[in-house]
Amino acid sequence: MGHRLTGLALSATVALSACVAVQQQTDLAGRQAAKTILPEALAIYFPQVPKALFTPFTNCVVDNADASEVQSLAADAVVGVDQGTADTIRTVLARPETQNCLRAAAPTALGTL
């Protein structure tokens, strides 16, 4: 009986690890897709952002977006950017973590002007 429980626990651990790996790969793919639309959305809906800051803005927004926001942004990579894209970006930009990321990244990016 003890060997069966050990085997069952081991099987459950392996299955859970596989699920976590799939979830991580899905999240990574979604974040990569989301990054493809941020420059366009920034150009259209955030014209005050200098082009030199598109990469830091893109990275900071995507890195600080939660899973549902990443899903939404990734979907916009297929259907195109709209006001909903801008709203999602504004929500993420309002977070202190995103603002800290931008403060850290902006001087380096602006130094390349």
Domain boundaries, the chain: 30-110
**So what's the pLDDT on residue 45?**
97
For the stretch 53-83, pLDDT in tens is 999 999 999 999 999 999 999 999 899 999 9
Q: Output Rg (C-alpha) for the chain, integer angstroms.
A: 19
- Contact between 99 and 61 under an 8 Å Cβ cutoff? The reply is no
**So what's the pLDDT on residue 29?**
79
**So what's the pLDDT on residue 3?**
55
**So what's the pLDDT on residue 1?**
53
Spell out, as residue ranges, where the chain has pLDDT lower than 70: 1-27, 109-113
Residue 112 makes CB contacts below 8 A (sequence gap 6+) with: 52
What are phi and psi for residue 22, nearest 5 degrees?
-65, -45
**So what's the pLDDT on residue 35?**
95
Prediction pTM value: 0.74
